[in-house]
Amino acid sequence: MFFGTVFLSLFILAKLTYQDIENMIRGISDCEDCEVKVLSLHIPLKMKLEDFDAVEIVPRDSKALGRKVFTAYFQKEGKNFTGTIFAFIDRKIMIPVAKRRIEKGERVDEKDFEFKEVYSTLTPSDFISKEDIEQKELYLKVPVGKGEVLRKTHLREDIAIRKGDRVKIVLNSGIIYVEFPGLALSNAKEGETVKVRNMSSNKIVYGVARGDKIVEVK
């Protein structure tokens, strides 16, 4: 990408058009699927864009997307003229918008959302993707109003085992495999250490939380 380092873009054409400028900006932005729109073009000496036969474009800021400013070095008959280009660059992404009010504690269901195409710079950074809704078991910790975008801040933590859950304590050394019924005494995400009570011996042990309410011990 050009944003970490300043790259120049030089184009020599018979006649310059706004579409040419937009294509040039898209090319140097390394964002082929982005939409580019020239918002305004400041050309010196009241000249017109089609008066020039070449242009060199240099970004002025390091923003990846959104409103950007470029310096344009126009050329005509061997002479250079400096101008400024203001442009909007962005790509559209799909975001989930609630069709109805969804209450605290409800499981997130794809059917409760419509997916709208929105410019990425206009979306919350922590929105939940369509893939996550389809593939993960997600529950709300706060209500989501009709028309709201589903965000990570709306969701309960992705807890594999919760305090009070009935769990299966598994000892699997490769040689020995034993299972015991257990009761979770703490919360844990998958891969974290969880405190459990072995219901067979009434002893408290610590293991690693896994999916399907399994606790691995050594």
35-42 sheet: strands from edge to edge: 9-12, 54-59, 66-76, 79-90, 35-42
Split into its structural domains, the chain has a count of 3
- Eight-state DSSP code of residue 153: G
Per-residue model confidence (pLDDT) at position 14:
55
* Range of the structural domain that residue 189 is part of: 166-217
**Same-domain check for residues 120 and 85:** no
Query: Which CATH number covers residue 193?
Result: 2.30.30.760
Positions of the chain with pLDDT lower than 70, given as ranges: 1-14
Q: pLDDT digits over 29-72, tens only?
A: 888 889 999 999 998 777 888 888 888 899 998 888 999 999 99
Give the domain-ending residue among 114, 131, 154.
Answer: 154
Per-residue model confidence (pLDDT) at position 200:
93
Per-residue model confidence (pLDDT) at position 6:
38
**Same-domain check for residues 81 and 122:** no
Look at residues 85, 94, 89 and name the one whose alpha carbon lies nearest to residue 41.
Answer: 85
Q: pTM for the whole thing?
A: 0.58
Q: What residue has token string 């240099």?
A: 58
**Same-domain check for residues 16 and 83:** yes
